[in-house]
Amino acid sequence: MQLKTEVFLVEKEILVYIQTKSIGIEDNSIKLKMTPLLKKFANIGDKVYLKHSTFMLPTKIKAKKEDEVLLEFPSLTPEKPLGDRRNVRVLSDPENPVKVRFNEITKEVYDISEVGFSIKCGMEEIDEILKNKEISEVEIYLPNLEEWIKGSARLVNVREFENGDILCGYELFLDTPDEVKVRFYIYERVKEILKGEK
């Protein structure tokens, strides 16, 4: 399965933006379909930023072939991603979702990063959610570890989409060992998404 992917690289202080397709993952490398701009500007060893869906990751060009480019799969401790987001954010796997518990509420997480998560909310829940913006104890279930971790959270935004869905976004505060657990979940999801599995 080929997934629409975007690549950003800097050439002599100019940002080069390329739309291409992710062909898959092989030997811990991400395979992208070659394009004319990739052929012209991409050099082995160059740093590039890979954007797919809700995440953007720093990586490097590993190899160039006539019809494809190989990128190193990003490390588990990436540098700050390009753009506004401080951390990589991924959609929770709908078949095996991340879950959250707080204030007698249990919900599936819509998306998650090391520093935040979003949940879908109904209009009937908004008033109660707005009354409890600061959550002293939140539990997050990570399906890859089959484990609940604990932290605290703070409501930072409420978004409404054209289809009527409402997302409540929370900043998440975790101890470092639990941040690492979330990071591992995120990078496993990145691999699944780029492979086109889920």
Q: Does residue 50 sit within a domain?
A: yes
Residue 168 in contact with residue 158, Cβ under 8 Å? yes
Distances in whole angstroms, Cα of residue 148 to Cα of each of 41, 48, 99, 139: 45, 35, 9, 6
Which residue range forms the structural domain that includes residue 10? 3-72
More reliable by pLDDT, 117 or 18: 117
Number of domains in the chain: 2
Residue 42's CB is within 10 A of a number of other CB atoms, namely: 21
The mean pLDDT value for 85-90 works out to 69
What pLDDT, on the 0 to 100 scale, is given for residue 129? 86
Query: Residue 150 is part of a domain; what is its CATH number?
Result: 2.40.10.430
Q: Is residue 77 part of a domain?
A: no
Residues 3-61: tens digit of each pLDDT:
777 787 776 667 788 888 888 887 778 889 999 888 888 889 988 888 766 667 788 99
Q: Are 175 and 167 in contact (CB under 8 A)?
A: no
Q: Are residues 41 and 104 in the same domain?
A: no
Q: Are residues 109 and 24 in the same domain?
A: no
pTM value > 0.85: no
